[in-house]
């Protein structure tokens, strides 16, 4: 009964959508490939793509696509969700970029800021090293005292043994803290290298005021062409770093515009400026058990660009991305 009601609703909606005072002629092809013509929309035509003609002038008016399946609607919803996440990650990165440009006026400013932070860490390391040397000196004295007691044939007092164990533990802890500070220095220098590279790229490109209108595949999903979800997955603690390297290789291989953003969550090439340009974005959407890598395409908003975004070469770029990531991860695991 429910399916009948849904069918009747669709039938009425189609009739209302196509209902005009003038006479109409409808053409559709059934599952067996047989062509039908009718001046009404019969029940069996609802499930098929049909062409609407003006009956008097025999002029083509419009095409009514067949109703989308639940699977098609679900894929469109998933694509919209992925693009929302992509937009969020991109906006977050662009906000960081604007903050970087506001904070530093030149490369020298960046270098001075780095040196100030390194000096602060070095000062902490010197304090830890001085404390470690003091503990080692105390430990040396305690060990010598325990050795003298043992030479005299007496057992080492428990409190002295506890002091020795405690000093050794404190020395190990100091070494751990020093190692952490050294790691912090290394990470700070790596971050500086990334920020410097980003700063230079922004200085060269961020000030462009010319806006480029773009379009994307599946921007208007239809029953003619199946929505492509260009998605790969990775496990954060095992292979996501490698997957991200592979994603960068894929983007640089297939995009015709250079990389503009390269963070740990978004890879984004410059917008297409020519009709034949293909711009790519990969968003890393983090999850509890696995991360999702979503590849998206942008083309110039022009007749040629729109056709390019719907073309087979672009469809192939999107379709082959998951296989490229998965095969690359399998190859790395086998080594």
pLDDT for 125 equals 95
Quote the CA–CA distance of 185 and 122 in Å, as a whole number: 9
> Is it the case that residue 223 has pLDDT exceeding 50?
no
Task: Express each pLDDT in 227-249 by its tens digit.
Answer: 788 999 999 878 999 999 999 99
Residues 6+ apart with CB under 8 A from 322: 230, 231, 232
Find the range with the poorest average confidence among 45-59, 98-112, 315-329.
Answer: 45-59
Return mean pLDDT, the chain. Answer: 85
- pLDDT for residue 21 is more than 60: no
How far apart are the C-alpha atoms of 250 and 232, rounded to whole Å?
12
* Angstrom distance (rounded) from CA 174 to CA 300: 58
The arithmetic mean of pLDDT across residues 257-261, rounded, is: 90
Q: Residues 161-197: pLDDT tens digits?
A: 999 999 999 999 999 999 999 999 999 999 898 888 8
Predicted pLDDT of residue 217: 86
Which pLDDT does position 123 carry in this prediction? 95
pLDDT of res. 171? 94
Span 33-79, pLDDT tens digits: 788 777 777 767 666 677 777 777 777 777 766 777 788 788 888 98
Q: Does the pLDDT value for residue 6 go beyond 50?
A: no
| In the block, residue with structure tokens 């917008």 | 271
Residue 317: count of CB within 10 angstroms of its CB = 23
More confident residue, 34 or 85: 85
Domains, in order of start, for the chain: 2-64 (no CATH), 106-205 (1.10.287), 214-219+227-334 (3.30.310)
- Burial of 198 by CB count in 10 Å (0-12 exposed, 13-18 middle, 19+ buried)? buried
pLDDT on residue 195? 86
CA distance 10 to 259: 47
Tell me if residue 266 falls in helix, strand or coil: strand
Please give the pLDDT value at position 207: 53
Q: What is the reported pLDDT for 30?
A: 78
Query: Which tokens sit at 314?
Result: 């672009």
Place of tokens 């399946």: 69
CA 51, CA 26: separation in Å to the nearest integer?
6
* Confidence category of residue 19, pLDDT binned at 50, 70, 90: very low
pTM score: 0.64
Is residue 194 a contact partner of residue 186, using CB atoms and an 8 Å limit? no
Q: What is the DSSP string of 30-96?
A: -TT--EEEESS--GGGTTS-EEEEETTTTEEEEEEPPPPPHHHHHHHHHHHHHHHHHHHHHHHHHHH
Report the C-alpha gap between 108 and 59 in whole angstroms.
Answer: 70
DSSP designation for 223: T
- Least confident range from 61-65, 141-145, 248-252: namely 61-65
How far is CA 115 from its chain centroid? Answer: 32
Q: Taking residues 145-170, what's their average pLDDT? A: 92
Helix (H, G, I), strand (E, B) or coil at 21: coil
DSSP 222: B
For the cut 50, the answer to whether the pLDDT of residue 15 exceeds it is no
Task: Residue 230: name the closest of 121, 319, 315 by CA.
Answer: 319
What pLDDT is stored for residue 74 in this prediction? 86
pLDDT of 141 > 80? The answer is: yes
- Note the pLDDT tens digit of each residue in 108-138: 998 999 999 999 999 999 999 999 999 999 9
Distance of CA 66 to the CA centre of its chain: 33
Query: Rounded distance, CA 190 to CA 193, Å?
Result: 5
Distance in angstroms (rounded) separating the CA atoms of residues 88 and 83: 9
pLDDT in tens, 260-269: 888 889 999 9
Q: For residue 127, what pLDDT is reported? A: 95
pLDDT for res 206: 58
| CB 262, CB 248: distance < 8 Å | yes
Which of these ranges, 2-16, 75-89, 224-238, has the smallest mean pLDDT? 2-16
Q: Does the pLDDT at position 5 exceed 70?
A: no
pLDDT of residue 14: 45
pLDDT in tens, 198-221: 888 787 765 554 667 888 887 665
């Amino acid at each position: 009964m429910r399916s009948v009601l849904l069918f009747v609703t669709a039938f009425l909606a189609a009739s209302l959508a196509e209902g005009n005072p003038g006479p109409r002629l409808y053409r559709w092809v059934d599952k067996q490939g047989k062509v039908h013509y009718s001046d009404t929309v019969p029940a069996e035509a609802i499930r098929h793509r049909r062409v609407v003609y003006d009956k008097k002038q025999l002029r083509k008016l419009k095409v009514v696509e067949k109703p989308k399946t639940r699977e098609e609607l679900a894929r469109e919803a998933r694509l919209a969700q992925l693009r929302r996440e992509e937009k969020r990650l991109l906006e977050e990165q662009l906000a960081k970029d604007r903050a970087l440009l506001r904070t530093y006026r030149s490369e020298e400013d960046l270098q001075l800021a780095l040196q100030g932070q390194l000096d602060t860490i070095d000062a902490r390391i010197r304090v830890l090293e001085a404390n470690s040397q003091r503990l080692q000196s105390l430990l040396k004295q305690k060990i010598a005292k325990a050795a003298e007691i043992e030479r005299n044939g007496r057992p080492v007092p428990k409190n002295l043994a506890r002091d020795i164990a405690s000093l050794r533990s404190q020395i190990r802890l100091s070494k751990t803290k020093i190692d952490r500070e050294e790691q912090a220095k290394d990470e700070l220098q790596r971050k500086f290298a990334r920020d410097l590279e980003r700063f230079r790229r922004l200085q060269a490109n961020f000030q462009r005021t010319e806006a480029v209108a773009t379009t994307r595949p599946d921007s208007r999903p239809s029953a003619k062409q199946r929505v492509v979800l260009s998605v790969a997955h990775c496990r954060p603690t095992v292979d996501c770093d490698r997957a991200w390297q592979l994603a960068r290789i894929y983007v640089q291989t297939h995009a015709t515009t250079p990389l503009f953003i390269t963070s740990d969550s978004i890879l984004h090439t410059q917008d297409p400026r020519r009709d034949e340009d293909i711009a790519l974005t990969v968003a890393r959407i983090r999850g509890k058990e696995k991360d999702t890598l979503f590849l998206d395409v942008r083309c110039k908003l022009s007749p040629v660009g729109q056709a390019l975004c719907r073309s087979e070469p672009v469809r192939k770029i999107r379709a082959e991305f998951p296989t490229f990531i998965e095969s690359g991860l399998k190859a790395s695991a086998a080594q």
